[in-house]
Structure 1
Amino acid sequence: MVRAGAYLLLALLALGVMAGCLLAERARDLASIDRRLARMAAPHVGGARAANRVSVPEYIAPLLAQAQLEITMQDLRMVALIALAVTGGLLLFAGPVAALAVVAAAPVAGWSWLQGRARKRTEALTDALPLYLDGVRQLQAVGNSLSQALERALADAPEIVRSYFAPTARRLEMGAPVAETMQHLADRLRIPEVSMLAAAIRTNLRFGGSLGTTLTNLAAILRERVRIRRELAAATSESRISARVLIVMPLLAMILLVMMNPAYIDFFVHDARGQKLATGAIGLELLGIVIVRRMMRLEF
């Protein structure tokens, strides 16, 4: 029964992958005219990689922007080929249950890796952002316009700030409005600190006032947020290590048991009751990982 259900789910997943590939090809064909027009309007922007870029759902786009990753058709084809090869090998040598478990765990692992990369890069950006704001304030104080200050301050800004703000600098250099450009960056990244900067600039340009004072206060607020985040990370370090140990312990225990008694795994692979127990154990392990990560997530 379990093997039949596993084969059925794998077949449904294969059909889903085929349907997704067809929809992606159709979306790429429909968007080809827009890309050609964009390359004709700005031939120096984008390049070949931008021409093959794949449109992603709205809820994934900010996370990819935070992680500074772009998905192209070549990337999708490579991932699909690797997934088919791994799934086929597992079906031949380990059975449908193991193949289904790997297919189910792979997206979870990929999503977790993407979230970790995005979190690390956004934390590095927020750590360096106050220094960039100080540079903008100083350049504006000596007579530069806001657009010039935002662009020229990137020369002395940390590398992480330049990598995120480079498209914004190009738009400003081409004469785009400052408020709209910064709001576009904030909408694309959806990082609270960048949204605060965009809101401060938009409010100042609309109602007037001293932007230097606003940037000074904003830099102080961002430094305070960084300090609080570091204190929270230090205060919860013991709990995070304990959570990781609890997650790894069942997997390590299973590996040690198989190493000491290789026949131990036969019950979970060949017996119907063992397959049900193995499926339930994997499901509970994944559920526990999700719950522990939710419990350890701190937002302020």
Structure 2
Amino acid sequence: MSDGNEPWALYLLIFILVAVAIQQLQQGLGTARSLRRQKQKRFASLEAAGNPASLEELRRRSTRWSQSFLARHANQLIVQSGTQLAWSTIALMGLGLTLVMSLLLPVPASGALRALLATAVAISLIEGWLRIKRARRIARFGEQLPDVIDVIVRSLRAGHPLAVALNLVARETPHPAGHEFALVVDEVNYGRSLSEALEHLSDRVGYPELRFFVASTAIAHQTGGNLGEILSRLSRMLRDRFRLGRRVRALSAEGRFSGYALSVLPVALFGIINLVSASYYADFWNSAAARPLLAISIALLLVGNLVIYRLVNFKV
């Protein structure tokens, strides 16, 4: 292959790889959605016919895709991030980032290897963006949860049933808590049990402390008890944990800044030098020790980041 035709061949290879990956992922997700729509009808007919063996076999087959790690991870990340973008839009973003990364990657490599590296970097960037959105949304929900519980407690003490209290939270609480509790109310209104609706709420949000609320509410709703007093104590506990968590973050702020600086500085210096003088690293890339030294440098940088992360992040 000549040098003049190599860039076009590289772009074509990148496009084919990304297009095939997108098509396979969308096809798999579409199959999963179709199975979820169809299996309820099939389950009902099998239960009515009294055929438990066939019912169990159908459940096993229809959930095979949904149990795969890639599908569960992708769906959970998108749902918990709260993004309104469709799968096709995210796929187009990935394709565009892959093409951009193939042009910006400074590592000299063959067309296939460069395409794989560009695809990996693009997927990592999109996943990182979704993780940031998920973290912000979870943090916002966590800040709202004590107030949500207080609203429910006041409503229960005023003599309202739990369904009315949840409906009040859905109407009066800002996004994202209000939106999520509105989905809970809708599920209950359409016939789903409160326990299942709350479990779906916990899965959609991904906030660990929400499990306490879900468990206490479901148990008290089924077996009875003073739910208002239980939730009142839970609200106080969550507020105390927030105060302690903010204090810990303030005390560890300097260490986190050091970790960010040490992580960004080597990459930033490399990029600046490469832009100012593109031939500065020419002798290094052409040497036999380039790849081992680069791998060692990346490994040491990752180890340093991991050590700093473990030093400045505490579970409260």
Q: Under a length normalisation based on structure 2, what TM-score does the superposition of the two structures give?
A: 0.71
State the Cα distance separating 1:220 from its structure 2 match.
Answer: 0.5
Instruction: State which of 139, 161, 172 in structure 2 corresponds to 1:156.
Output: 172
Whether 1:137 and 2:162 are equivalent positions in the alignment is no
1:267–1:274 CA contact under 8 A, matched in 2:
no
Count of aligned positions: 277
CA distance in 2 between counterparts of 1:76 and 1:145 reads: 42
State the Cα distance separating 1:60 from its structure 2 match.
Answer: 4.3
Q: For 2:165, what is the secondary structure of its paired residue? A: helix
Whether 1:245 and 2:261 are equivalent positions in the alignment is yes
CA-to-aligned-CA distance 1:218-255 (integer Å, 9 cap, x gap): 11111111111111111110110111111122123324
With over 3 angstroms needed to count, the CA separation of the structure-2 counterparts of 1:13 and 1:272, relative to structure 1, is: farther
Q: Which amino acid letter does the alignment assign opposite residue 219 of structure 1?
A: S
State the Cα distance separating 1:137 from its structure 2 match.
Answer: 1.4
CA-to-aligned-CA distance 1:48-101 (integer Å, 9 cap, x gap): xxxxxx976324444433321367441354135314533554589965476655
Question: Larger relative contact order (C-alpha < 8 A, sep ≥ 6)?
Answer: 1
Q: Which amino acid letter does the alignment assign opposite residue 298 of structure 1?
A: F
Q: What is the identity percentage for the equivalent residue pairs of Structure 1 and Structure 2?
A: 24
Q: Which amino acid letter does the alignment assign opposite residue 32 of structure 1?
A: S
Quick check: 196-205 or 95-104, which moved more? Answer: 95-104
1:200 is matched with which residue?
Answer: 216
1:90–1:99 CA contact under 8 A, matched in 2:
no
With over 3 angstroms needed to count, the CA separation of the structure-2 counterparts of 1:279 and 1:103, relative to structure 1, is: farther
Q: For 1:192, what is the secondary structure of its paired residue? A: coil
1:133–1:215 CA contact under 8 A, matched in 2:
yes
1:215 is matched with which residue?
Answer: 231
Instruction: State which of 140, 148, 173 in structure 2 corresponds to 1:124.
Output: 140
Instruction: State which of 56, 66, 70 in structure 1 corresponds to 2:80.
Output: 66
CA-to-aligned-CA distance 1:165-188 (integer Å, 9 cap, x gap): 221121233353323321221234
With over 3 angstroms needed to count, the CA separation of the structure-2 counterparts of 1:129 and 1:84, relative to structure 1, is: closer
Q: For 2:281, what is the secondary structure of its paired residue? A: helix
- Structure 1 gaps, min length 5: 1-10, 39-53
CA distance in 1 between counterparts of 2:300 and 2:19 reads: 26
Instruction: State which of 98, 122, 125 in structure 2 corresponds to 1:109.
Output: 125
CA RMSD, 1 decimal: 3.8
With over 3 angstroms needed to count, the CA separation of the structure-2 counterparts of 1:182 and 1:34, relative to structure 1, is: closer
Quick check: 177-186 or 264-273, which moved more? Answer: 264-273
Q: For 1:264, what is the secondary structure of its paired residue? A: coil
State the Cα distance separating 1:194 from its structure 2 match.
Answer: 1.4
State the Cα distance separating 1:292 from its structure 2 match.
Answer: 3.8
CA distance in 1 between counterparts of 2:225 and 2:158 reads: 17
Q: Under a length normalisation based on structure 1, what TM-score does the superposition of the two structures give?
A: 0.75
